Amino acid sequence: MSPQQQFIAFKTLVRKEIRRFTRIWVQTLIPPVITMALYFVIFGSLIGRRIGEMGGLDYMSFVVPGLIMMAVINNSYSNVVSSFYSAKFTKSIEELQVSPTPNYIIMLGYVCGGCLRGLLVGLIVTLISMLFTDLQVHNLFVTASVVFLTAFLFSLAGMINAIFANSFDDISIIPTFVLTPMTYLGGVFYSIDLLPEFWQGVSQLNPILYMVNAFRYGLLGVSDVNIGVAFAGIIGFLLVLLAYCLFLLEHGKKLRN
């Protein structure tokens, strides 16, 4: 396949993914927006007033970047995990497997679909957050690159989950038992400075902490972690998942009999 043909295959796959999540927009775009709006009202507006300041900021301002990232993480992941597993389940993945489309294009097509849904939901949540607080952008490059890399990373993670999944139960186990606790404990709602030293150390093993804080730095200019370390961690983790995902596709793990 020439590079031009590969690009056509990639565009086809991305278009198909966009069509999928926009066709079922009531399931894919509306629920995260409602959930996040409730977070803003309850945690930010109602409880937040009683909390006062967090990390030197009023609580609503503090919590907004984390909630945007939470929406991006969940939607990037769930888009790819459900789309790719459904393709496996219905065997429509064979349409791609019999074609000359290289595995890396298949991976990038699905991941790009996941990123687009994650970023679209993130954008909608950002717009809603502006009803509750004045949103400033401290560093546009950091903000944009962190949100994109995070969406990419969790799309890849969703794809790996889908490759291993044998049933629809398997695609909800990781989001429920791993992703949600990691997100809640990843500094979305609090600064890790509040934690005892031991738990601060434990929190620093959580990759979501670095993503949330790097994004918070991009918007507000404050962070619990070093931004350079955060970028290095995100990129390193992303490269590992990228290589692993390609390895699984090349070897047909759980895809070819």
- Which positions lie near another protein, rule CB under 8 A? 1-2, 4-6, 8-9, 11-13, 15-16, 19, 23, 86-87, 90-92, 94-102, 252, 256-257
d(CA 118, CA 113): 9
Q: Which is nearer to another protein, 83 or 183 (CB)?
A: 83
216, 203, 109: which is closest to 156 by C-alpha?
109
- The residue count of the chain comes to 257
Q: Which two tokens stand for residue 133?
A: 């607080």
| 121: helix, strand or coil | helix
CB of 113 to another protein, least distance (A): 13
Q: Which is nearer to another protein, 19 or 138 (CB)?
A: 19
Cβ neighbours of residue 47 under 8 Å, at least 6 residues apart? 59
Q: Which is nearer to another protein, 192 or 249 (CB)?
A: 249
CB of 102 to another protein, least distance (A): 7
CB of 174 to another protein, least distance (A): 23
CB of 142 to another protein, least distance (A): 36
Cα 148 to Cα 153, 165, 167, 252, distances in angstroms: 9, 26, 29, 28
CB of 247 to another protein, least distance (A): 15
Q: Which is nearer to another protein, 10 or 39 (CB)?
A: 10
* Residue 197 φ/ψ region, left for φ over 0, alpha for ψ in the -120 to 50 degree band, beta for the rest: alpha
Residue given tokens 């994650």 in the structure block: 118
Q: Which is nearer to another protein, 15 or 49 (CB)?
A: 15
